[in-house]
Amino acid sequence: MTNMLTAPSPLRKSRAFAETRFKWFGRIAIGISLAFLFVMVGSITLKGKGALWTSDFAITVDLGPEEVNPNSIDATRFDAVMKKSLRNTFPEITTRKDKKKLYGLLSVDMGFELHKQIRANPELLGGPRKLWFTASDDADILLKGGVDRSLPQANRRISDLEISWIDALSKGGNIRTQFNTKFFTNGDSREPELAGILSALMGSILTLFVCFIFSFPIAILAAIYLEEFAPKNRLSTLIEVNINNLAAVPSIVFGLLGLAMLLNVFGLPRSSPLVGGLVLSLMTLPTIIIAARVALRAVPPSIREAALGMGASPVQATFYHVAPLALPGILTVQLWVWHRHWAKQHRF
Amino acid sequence: MIKSRAFYMHDGTLSKSVNFDITSGNRSKIVERLIMAVMILCSLVAIAVTIGIVLSLLFESIRFFEKVAMNEFLFGTKWSPQTALRADQVAAEGSFGAIPLITGTLLISFIAMCVATPLGLFSAIYLSEYASKRTRNVVKPLLEILAGIPTVVYGFFAALTVAPLLRASGESIGLNVSSESALAAGLIMGVMIIPLISSLSDDVINAVPQSLRDASLGLGSTDSETIRRVVLPAAIPGIAGSLLLAASRAIGETMIVVMAAGLAANLTANPLEAVTTITAQIVALLTGDQEFESAKTLSAFALGLLLFTITLILNMISLKIVNKYREQYD
């Protein structure tokens, strides 16, 4: 008998094995899910971090009076000045084609950059000066190690000649890598080295602002009504079912609603933050109502009873006592909802 | 009542301020009624939105069906929605058969569910039945981060990292994988809905009464036997509901498929080929400037109506199942 209890029988062994296996299924499932999270965040960080740095070239620019007239700075053709300085830096280049390539070493904004630097510091005028300019995207990628130099010339965006110029600049200490402030202060651009997120960010903030103004009060009032006052009749059941279903309607259907109703029927302007925000607020409404109701439900009934017992009307009890207690919970959820809709795209 | 309170206080200023209180006299009733009316109006907004959605989709779809027969839309197998610039243009008619879009949507959603169901379900089981409180507190928020990532980011990841990876690994074993394969989009969409499945089924599993588990364990079954033979069968309806909800989310997902799935309508069941979905087509149809009256633009609304109907039916069924199940053990 003792033997049967202590020695592991084949059945017990297989059951124990099944137990461990089942546990490991769970662990592996969680592991895979989290691995996806880390790989995704990691890959996006790795791919994105390059955008935070930008390369600059130092070019000696002749700012003597025959190039830039100190009395009429704004009338100067700075692009021509820059092109001439580039030619002077590499005097061995003669053909038209190569010269064009040479100008492409710097960003198309080089003239503006020179103008800006002179405006900020007029003392630069008067002679040759070494100034920093933004490198073009192709040169920048090369410096960040994104170009395989062993590839044949025809397979890269940057030719051997251009690489030799950049190497020469690098040898002379004329290249620096800097934090890319333009990324945060510029709008979008066709030139990658000049593109920034500011305009897109402003659009998002404005849209979210409109969304907040509309959805927050409406959703909270609706939640308070449904949770505290609504009689149990067919209308409130209908509203409830409706809200639950709306919460699961695909976002693109809301976009179509915005297109048909707001743009075509009411004639609001296209692409405006107002329309985007309105549609987003309609979209977030059910989610916030559901969450606000959960927060209201969490307020203990004793608060309500105490307020009513002191002679407050139901409306007073709710607005002075119950809602303030539920507010932090509602706000937390609100933040979460926003963060989810932060990057929703719409077709307006 | 207000007056008597002021009387006890013997305080002129207070009684004056109390008179401004909304409880004083008739005014209070008016104010309270007003507040109630505003609140009722706010809750009716939800119904108004639903009616607005249905009406706008319906009216534009009716206009679409005036131009294209409903039969052709629902059962046609060719989707190439161009409108003619000249009458003698090649393929001037354009064809609006939604079948390839529906199959594409279903294919991608099916792949997504294949990924998300086992991962989400096993995560939920482990977290609710095995994990210590500390593990739960760490892992659950991490999984919820997955739900909080904007879908554009998922799409970006699918299009720029996963799709080339799949293509390269397919090539190395001699398979021709499209760079916009349904597999890449479905895989990443599956990752997106893991937290939805895991948190919903977690709730459902936790709602199974402890007495059922205790009885099973008391009869000598192991933990895993209890879960498989007692807890899961009791939780199955709720889990089915959460899976349906996740499926409807996958069908309606837009940004991932816009970025990672193709635009050419392909009638295929091969996950390695490029397919397109209803949502991706709606986006493609409405991008840029075009006249509103053309069948091309209006077809977006017909597709929207189709999508709305599919997801609404799925949601209604799943909400009914989940709610019914919740009440059973409450």
**Which alpha helices (H) appear in chain B, and where do they start and end?**
2-9, 12-19, 25-67, 70-75, 99-125, 133-148, 151-157, 163-172, 182-207, 210-218, 223-226, 232-252, 255-260, 278-286, 295-329
Q: Quick one: closest CA in B to A251, which residue?
A: B252
Q: Do B136 and B234 lie in a common domain?
A: yes
C-alpha B83/C-alpha B80 separation (Å) is: 9
Weakest-pLDDT range from B23-37, B77-91, B136-150: B77-91
pTM of the model: 0.80
A111's enclosing H/E stretch is: helix A110-120
Query: What is the tens place of the pLDDT at every residue in B191-250?
Result: 999 998 998 888 888 888 899 999 999 999 999 999 999 999 888 888 888 898 899 989
Query: What is the tens place of the pLDDT at every residue in B150-193?
Result: 888 898 889 888 888 888 988 888 888 887 888 999 999 999 99
Q: What is the CA radius of gyration of chain A?
A: 33
B74 neighbors B288 (Cβ within 8 angstroms): no
Q: Do B51 and B155 lie in a common domain?
A: no
pLDDT of residue B325: 67
A333's enclosing H/E stretch is: helix A323-341
| In-domain check, residue B82 | no
pLDDT of residue A340: 54
pLDDT over 90 percentage in chain B: 23
Amino acid at A120: A
Report the Cα A149 to chain-centroid distance in Å. Answer: 33
C-alpha A181/C-alpha A185 separation (Å) is: 6
* Residue of A5, A22, A243 for testing the chain B interface, max B β-carbons within 10 Å: A22
What count of Cα atoms within 13 Å lies in the side-chain half-sphere of residue B15? Answer: 12
Compare A186 and A2 and report the one with higher pLDDT.
Answer: A186
Q: Do B150 and B230 lie in a common domain?
A: yes
Token code pair at residue A246: 């709306």
pLDDT of residue A335: 66
pLDDT of residue B326: 61
Residue B114's pLDDT band (boundaries 50, 70, 90)?
very high
Q: Do B12 and B113 lie in a common domain?
A: no
| In-domain check, residue B85 | no
C-alpha B276/C-alpha B266 separation (Å) is: 7
Q: Do B308 and B233 lie in a common domain?
A: yes
CATH class belonging to A200-341: mainly alpha
A5-12: average pLDDT: 73
Q: Quick one: closest CA in A to B156, which residue?
A: A44
Q: Do B152 and B27 lie in a common domain?
A: no
Confirm or reject contact between B96 and chain A (CB < 8 A).
no
**Between chains, do B126 and A29 touch, taking CB under 8 Å as contact?**
yes
Residue A6's pLDDT band (boundaries 50, 70, 90)?
low
pLDDT of residue B191: 93
Domain span at B319? 95-329
**Between chains, do B46 and A37 touch, taking CB under 8 Å as contact?**
no
Give the closest residue to B105 by CA, choosing from B242, B244, B250: B250
Confirm or reject contact between B1 and chain A (CB < 8 A).
yes
Is B256 a residue whose pLDDT tops 80? yes
* CATH code for position B188: 1.10.3720.10
A206-212: average pLDDT: 86
Q: Quick one: closest CA in A to B300, which residue?
A: A256
C-alpha A105/C-alpha A137 separation (Å) is: 9
DSSP letter, residue B82: -
Is A342 a residue whose pLDDT tops 70? no
Is A160 a residue whose pLDDT tops 50? yes
- Contact list, A261 vs chain B (CB under 8 Å): 52, 56
pLDDT of residue B19: 44
C-alpha A117/C-alpha A81 separation (Å) is: 14
Residue A113's pLDDT band (boundaries 50, 70, 90)?
confident
Report the domain count for chain B: 2
Confirm or reject contact between B224 and chain A (CB < 8 A).
yes
Is B302 a residue whose pLDDT tops 60? yes
Q: Is A99 exposed, middle or buried (0-12, 13-18, 19+ CB in 10 A)?
A: middle
**Between chains, do B279 and A250 touch, taking CB under 8 Å as contact?**
yes
Count CB-CB contacts under 10 A for residue A44.
16
Residue A3's pLDDT band (boundaries 50, 70, 90)?
low
Q: Do B262 and B300 lie in a common domain?
A: yes
**Can you tell me which residue has the tokens 């800097």?**
A178
A180-209: average pLDDT: 84
* Residue of A28, A33, A347 for testing the chain B interface, max B β-carbons within 10 Å: A33
Q: Do B171 and B292 lie in a common domain?
A: yes
- Contact list, B47 vs chain A (CB under 8 Å): 238-239, 242
Q: Do B32 and B107 lie in a common domain?
A: no
Out of B46, B123, B307, the one facing A33 most closely (by C-beta) is: B123
| In-domain check, residue B205 | yes
B312 neighbors A249 (Cβ within 8 angstroms): yes
Of A255-259, A331-335, B308-312, where does the model show the most confidence? B308-312
Query: What is the tens place of the pLDDT at every residue in A21-50?
Result: 999 999 999 999 999 999 998 988 888 887
Q: Do B161 and B220 lie in a common domain?
A: yes
DSSP letter, residue A189: -
* Residue of A20, A30, A288 for testing the chain B interface, max B β-carbons within 10 Å: A30
Residue A2's pLDDT band (boundaries 50, 70, 90)?
low
- The last residue of a domain, from among B48, B67, B86: B67
B297 neighbors B283 (Cβ within 8 angstroms): no
Amino acid at A205: I
The answer to whether ipTM exceeds 0.85 is no
B3-27: average pLDDT: 45
C-alpha B242/C-alpha B195 separation (Å) is: 11
Compare B268 and B158 and report the one with higher pLDDT.
Answer: B158
A194 neighbors A171 (Cβ within 8 angstroms): no
Compare A276 and B218 and report the one with higher pLDDT.
Answer: B218
Q: Spell out the domain ranges in chain A.
A: 52-194, 200-341
Query: What is the tens place of the pLDDT at every residue in A51-101?
Result: 888 888 888 888 887 777 777 777 788 888 888 888 888 888 888 888 888
pLDDT of residue A81: 85
| In-domain check, residue B284 | yes
Q: Do B62 and B172 lie in a common domain?
A: no
Find all residues with CB under 8 Å of A86, minimum gap 6, and list them.
A59, A102, A103, A105, A106
Is A244 a residue whose pLDDT tops 70? yes
Is A5 a residue whose pLDDT tops 70? no
pLDDT of residue B125: 93
pLDDT of residue A345: 45
B247 neighbors B113 (Cβ within 8 angstroms): yes
pLDDT mean across residues, chain B: 82
Is B274 a residue whose pLDDT tops 80? yes
| In-domain check, residue B149 | yes
- Contact list, B57 vs chain A (CB under 8 Å): 253, 256-257, 260
